[in-house]
Amino acid sequence: MESPGHDEKANKNPMLTPKIAKIVVNSSVGKSGEPLEKAIKIIEELTGQKPCIKKAKKTVREFGIRKKEPIACVVTLRGKKAYEFLTKSLRAVDNRISRRSFDKQGNFSFGIKEHIDIPGTKYSPDLGIIGMDVSVTLERPGYRVKHRHRANSKVGSQHLLTTDEAVSFLKDTLGVEIT
């Protein structure tokens, strides 16, 4: 539960305002070869970055997947590119996110069924249509102490981002409707 006057503290202290740390865009095709190459081209066009190829961790005979077979591509966006991609991709889902999409730390994920739903994207018959998952990590300034190599330490419980704070951040900054 938030303490009374919590918003007043956030306005005065810039270290309490949340920010987008990173966005991970994942498209799992399930097959190697031509479908994966098409998905790589589409994601590269959408994000402006070259995606990494991910391989299957184990064999699943029902789906025809072998261990270590390339089946997905992933891109991590940070900074200005992340913010721009998030605003475009939220329009693809009508600026609505389910409350269940958030975790305890304020991070959230949503799926886009067809990449042509993203504004500014044109359909190319050579590439087809793919779906993707978008995972957004939110944090406050100062989280670097947790990840740095030298003298890393814990982030205090008062500084951790909560689900309610993440929801209010999305409503205020991006105008997202939480259902």
Give residue 32's pLDDT band: very low, low, confident or very high (50, 70, 90): confident
Higher per-residue confidence, 179 vs 5: 179
What do you get for the CA distance between the two ends of the chain, in Å?
A: 20
C-alpha–C-alpha distance, residues 146 and 36, integer Å: 35
C-alpha–C-alpha distance, residues 98 and 50, integer Å: 30
Identify residue 134 by its one-letter amino acid code.
Answer: V
Average pLDDT, the chain: 90
Residues 6+ apart with CB under 8 A from 53: 36, 40, 70, 72, 73
Ramachandran bin of 141, using left for φ above 0, alpha for ψ from -120 to 50, beta for the remaining angles: beta
Give residue 147's pLDDT band: very low, low, confident or very high (50, 70, 90): confident
- Where do we find the tokens 């990494």? 52
What's the CATH number of domain 21-178, 2.60.40.3080, 3.30.230.30, 3.40.1180.10, 3.30.1440.10? 3.30.1440.10
Give residue 153's pLDDT band: very low, low, confident or very high (50, 70, 90): very high
pLDDT over 50 (residue 5): no
- 70-77 and 132-139: which strand pairing? unpaired
- 177-178 and 96-97: which strand pairing? parallel
Q: What is the mean pLDDT of residues 67-76?
A: 95
Residues 6+ apart with CB under 8 A from 92: 112, 117, 118, 119
Question: What residue ranges do the domains of the chain occupy?
Answer: 21-178
Reported pTM: 0.86
Give the pLDDT of residue 2.
46
